[in-house]
Structure formats: structure tokens, C-alpha cells
Structure 1
Amino acid sequence: MNKRLSEGLWGYLFILPQSLGLLVFALIPLVSAFTLSLMKWDGFGAKQFVGFRNFAEQFASEDFRLSLFNTLWYTVLVVPSGILLAILVAVALNKVRGKVIYRLFYYMPVVTGSIAVSMVWLWLLNSEFGVINVYLKQWFGIEGPNWLTDRAMVIPSIALLSVWWGLGGNMVLFLAGLQGISASYYEAAQIDGAGKFRQFMHITLPLLSPTTFFATIMTIIGSFQVFDQSFVMTGGGPAKASYTMVYHIYQLAFVEFTFGKSAAAAVLLFILILSLTLVQMYTSKRWVHYGD
């Protein structure tokens, strides 16, 4: 056996565990979901092929349309604010003294379980004795809103939690991106008389665009999969004001036991996320700038 063939076999051997994991835990379940979306099944009896009827029922379902609207509204609130805040925090911590400690504190929520985070924020956002409303009244003399029981405030409240929760993860990405920017760019800008703001707008942001692109895609994907916060904090309420697409999938599968409809809704969510990702990939050519 020649050396080149031997190296190739060792390479395939090393990627075999990851390939098996991808096949068993991703590709096979994906195909199974597509197949199940064409069936009528309650989880116990025999499966009945119904074609695209499940998809047609989802498009006609008021609950599906409501969940789509709530998820889109949540995404609009979380993605721009989360990305912008992560960039600003990363820039502020990039060269500050004691930055390791600050990074640790900002990143700690990321490794905290979603249920624990939701329970803490459920207490913070309580309209009667929550910490936020208490301090709003003591410091500013105003009555805080009903964060989780007002239909107009529940999605912004969950979005506030999610921005705080995901800040550390995006901050680490942007810190890595900042460290990859050569100091020579800033030195040249200072010689030309550019101030800090112009350096940020014309050097930092353009050279961070690959990191921004990646963080935006991952944040959008995560925002469309929001479930834990809504499930723990509001149960989809009030009056389904926090009823998201993944909550809708859960409701169909594990409450109503209509697994075919649930799979159809999951496939539609997959197509939506895939479409948005492809659009971002296409439009990234216009604004993502890779350094030399």
C-alpha cells in the first residue's frame, strides 16, 4: 500500500465518527421528518399517507400564521439589537484593563441552562414584585409595565432576555474578529487625521463584516427556534401573544398528538430558515469584505 493511499484511509478513519453522528442525528431525522410530514399519525396507530394535506392545513391554520408573525417580530427585535450590542461591547472590552474578567462575566450566561435563565428572568420581570419594576418605581417614580402579561410587551420582554443571554457568545466572536484586524490600518487612519468614530465606521465595521455575517446567520437561526423562554415564562400566552413556531410544533406533536401536522410545520420552518440563509449568502457579496 503506497503512502498516499494510506494517508487517505487514515483521513477517512478520522472523519468516520463525525460522519456517523451527522448521518444518525441529522440526515436520517431530516429525511424522517419530511416523510412524516406527508402522513397522518397520532404516534400509536398505523401511518396514513395524506400527501400535502398537512401543509395545506398549516397554511390555512390561524395558529400557524400567528406563530409565524410572533417569531418574525421576535427575530426583528433580537437580531439587530443583539448584533449591534455585541459589537459595541467587544470594541469596549478589546483593549481594556482586566478584560479577561469582563469577558468571563459577559460569557457566563451563555453556558447557563435555558430553564434556569428563564426562571430568573420570570422573577425579574414580574409586574408586581419583580426587581425591574421595583427599581423603576424607586429610581424614576414610574410604574413598570406588565412585562409578561401584556400582549404588546411579552415578545419584547422575551427578546430582552434573549439579547442578554446571547450577548456573550456573539461578543466572543467579535473579539476574535477584532484581534484579526491589523493595527497598521488604524495607524494609517490616525496619520490621515481620522478620529475614533471614523476609524470605527470605515475600518472596524468593514473588516468585521465576515464575523458580522456569520453572527447574523447564527442569531437568525437561533431566533426562529425560540421555544424555552416562551414555554417556561408565558406558556405561549397571554392569548397566544408569545406563541412561536417551535411552540406550535410542540403543541401539535406532544399536546394534540398530530405528528404529521407537526412535521409539516417543522418542514416549513426548515424551508423558511434555509431560504433566509440563502438570501443572506447571496446578498453578502455586496457588504462582506474579506481582508487581504
Structure 2
Amino acid sequence: MKTQNTLSENMSHLKRKHINRESRTAWLFLLPGIVLLMLFVFWPIIYSLPLAFTNYSVIAEPAFVGLANFKKAFSDPDFIMSLVNSLIYVLIVPIMQIFSMLLANMVNQKIRGIKLFRTLYYIPVVTSTVAVSIIWSWLLSSNGLINAMLKMTGVISENIGWLTNKQTALATLMFITLWKGLGYYMMIYLAGLQSIPGELIEAAEMDGATKVQAFFKITMPLLRPQIVLCSLMSLMGALRVFDEPFVLTKGGPANSTMTSSLYIYKNGFEKFDFGYSAALGLIVSVIVILLSIVIFKYNKKAEEGMY
């Protein structure tokens, strides 16, 4: 009995030692990423919190101003417009998720050359935003290819300034963002689809379920983790969109494409009003957090309804 207890203790000790060694190895691999996150993400966030309550600029010493920056923000029509534009941008989130899920289903088929299509759909994701923007600015110019094709087919009678017209500029940027992000979310959904056992779908179809019923009753519920992840990522990306407006329109015409991130950038790095810029960033961060909580709550309620 004593020998058996000693053997059990030795086995437990070896198991703990093995787990500790694995944990140390894992932390060593994580360390470079953690250091980069601390330096370039967490430290700037922590530093910007007290900065939001000052009138700090590069020229003068920072002085505490309390809530003055926040009061200024909510009475600033340009910031309100940029915030509205960012919230309008959120409208592409469900559209992007639906289309990327459909694309994932399409490229999940076992047909010849499907890897080529996956690569083609993913190319915009890895292509430089600047290069993409230059191509789109050429295509969407008044004398560009898109206007020429639309006139040729009789859809329009005169050229449209897609990026210079207040009525079309924001919608055009949203389309470009949608086009560029589809491949990224498609790959996440594709990974989720390939982890679903094919036997489940086959069993449902043998029981009389159509492909559409099998998709909504089996595939969609099993894809819930990917749906929540992609929805959160695209929501945060939409609220913080910067590249496309900055490169293509600079927020114009007449601030019609000015997003909150671009407005924060302009106040911080063009006007050097870093205190006000930090306050704006804090407001946008709170909005992102609140919307993220709504998504989590909705997902939790949906899961409870399932079970």
C-alpha cells in the first residue's frame, strides 16, 4: 500500500513538472508578443487616459482642464459628424458577415481549382491599402473605367464623381472596405466550416432536411463562435476605419467621409491638440466597448434559446 502511494505521488510530481515545463515554454513563446502589446498598445492607452483631461500640445506644458475636452467634444459639430459617419460605417458589418459566410460556403466545395479561388478572394486582404486605394481612385475617377462601363451599358448618362460627390463618397468607401475585408472573414468561416463533421450534414439530409435547412439548423449554430469573433472584429474595424478615408478622400468632400479615427488623427497630428485628441479617442473606445457588450449579450441570449 505504501509503495502504491509513493508511486502515485511520484506520478503526480512528474505530471506537475511536465505541466510547469510546458507552461514555461508557452510563456516564452508568448513573451515577444506580450512585450510588443505592452509597448505599442497598453502603454499608449494608459498614457492617454490622464492626457484626456489636459490641454497638452507639443508647444506648451500640459495643464489639467478637467472635463473641458469632453464638453468640447459633444459640442463639436465636426466630431459629431465624424461619429455619425463611423456609426453609418457599422452598417457594412452584417453585409460583410453574410457575404463572407456565403463565400466560405462556396470555396468549401471539393471541386477542381478551388484553391485558386480561395487565393484570389484573399489577395485584397494582403494587398497594401495604399496600392488598393490608388487602383480604386483610378477606377472611380470621373473618366475612369467604372463610369465608362456604366455609360456604355446605359446605366448612367453622365460621369459620376464617386469620391468627390457628397452623396456617393461615403457609400463608395464602405464598398471598398467591404471588398477588401471579405477574404479575411471568409478564411475564418472556412476554418469553422471545415471543423464541422460532414456526418452531421449527411445525417440531416438523410432525415429529409434540405441543404438550406441543414445550413440554418446545423451549420449556423456550430459557426456561432466564428460569427461572434468576426462580428466583433468587423464592428471594431468599422468604427475605427482610417486607411480608406485618409488615402482616398482625406475626410472630404465637406467632411462627408470624415470618420472618428481620421478626425482624432487630424486633431492630434495636424493641430497638435493631443489632449483633445486623447479625449476623443476615449469616447470612441467607450462606444466600441458598449457595442461589444451588446453583441456578447445577444450571443448569450441566442445560446440560451438554443438549449
TM-score by length of 2: 0.88
Aligned to 1:234: 249
- 1:16 and 1:104 map into 2 onto residues whose CA distance is 32
- 2:24 and 2:94 map into 1 onto residues whose CA distance is 46
- 1:263 and 1:286 map into 2 onto residues whose CA distance is 35
- 1:288 and 1:159 map into 2 onto residues whose CA distance is 31
- 1:270 and 1:245 map into 2 onto residues whose CA distance is 11
- 1:168 and 1:157 map into 2 onto residues whose CA distance is 19
CA shift for structure 1 position 12: 4.6
Q: Is structure 2 residue 89 aligned with structure 1 residue 74? A: yes
3-state secondary structure, aligned to 1:40: coil
Aligned to 2:138: 123
- 2:265 and 2:27 map into 1 onto residues whose CA distance is 38
- 2:262 and 2:65 map into 1 onto residues whose CA distance is 24
Aligned to 2:108: 94
3-state secondary structure, aligned to 1:42: coil
3-state secondary structure, aligned to 1:48: coil
Aligned to 1:189: 204
3-state secondary structure, aligned to 2:153: helix
Aligned to 1:245: 260
CA shift for structure 1 position 183: 1.2
CA shift for structure 1 position 141: 4.5
CA shift for structure 1 position 80: 1.4
> Which has more radius of gyration?
2
Aligned to 2:183: 168
**Contact 1:43-1:257 at 8 Å conserved across structures:** yes
**Contact 1:210-1:288 at 8 Å conserved across structures:** no
Q: Is structure 2 residue 295 aligned with structure 1 residue 280? A: yes
Amino acid at match of 2:226: T
- The structure-2 alpha-carbon separation of the partners of 1:29 and 1:140, relative to structure 1 and needing over 3 Å to count, comes to same
**Contact 1:174-1:208 at 8 Å conserved across structures:** yes
Summarize deviations over 1:130-188 as a string: whole Å, max 9, x none.
Answer: 21111111124423643112212111100110111001100100100110111122112
- Unpaired stretches in structure 1, ≥5 consecutive residues: none
State how many pairs are aligned: 288
Amino acid at match of 2:273: T
Aligned to 1:139: 153
Greater shift in the superposed pair: 198-207 or 162-171: 198-207
- Unpaired stretches in structure 2, ≥5 consecutive residues: 1-12
CA shift for structure 1 position 240: 0.5
- The structure-2 alpha-carbon separation of the partners of 1:198 and 1:16, relative to structure 1 and needing over 3 Å to count, comes to closer
RMSD over aligned CA atoms reads 2.1
Pick the aligned partner of 1:46 from 36, 61, 65. 61
Pick the aligned partner of 1:209 from 224, 228, 231. 224
Amino acid at match of 2:133: S
3-state secondary structure, aligned to 1:194: coil
Amino acid at match of 2:96: G
**Contact 1:213-1:288 at 8 Å conserved across structures:** no
Summarize deviations over 1:44-87 as a string: whole Å, max 9, x none.
Answer: 221111111111110111111100101111111x2111111101
**Contact 1:249-1:266 at 8 Å conserved across structures:** yes
3-state secondary structure, aligned to 2:90: helix
Amino acid at match of 1:124: L
Identity over aligned residues, as a percent? 36
- 1:237 and 1:288 map into 2 onto residues whose CA distance is 43
- The structure-2 alpha-carbon separation of the partners of 1:132 and 1:48, relative to structure 1 and needing over 3 Å to count, comes to same
- 1:184 and 1:10 map into 2 onto residues whose CA distance is 37
CA shift for structure 1 position 40: 0.7
CA shift for structure 1 position 102: 0.6
- 2:205 and 2:28 map into 1 onto residues whose CA distance is 52
Amino acid at match of 2:95: S
- The structure-2 alpha-carbon separation of the partners of 1:137 and 1:180, relative to structure 1 and needing over 3 Å to count, comes to same
Spell out the pairing of 1:8-87 with structure 2 (5 A cutoff): 12-76=27-91, 78-87=92-101
Aligned to 1:149: 164
- 2:104 and 2:272 map into 1 onto residues whose CA distance is 45
TM-score by length of 1: 0.92
Spell out the pairing of 1:104-119 with structure 2 (5 A cutoff): 104-119=119-134
Summarize deviations over 1:201-258 as a string: whole Å, max 9, x none.
Answer: 2222222222111101000111111111111111111110001001110111122211
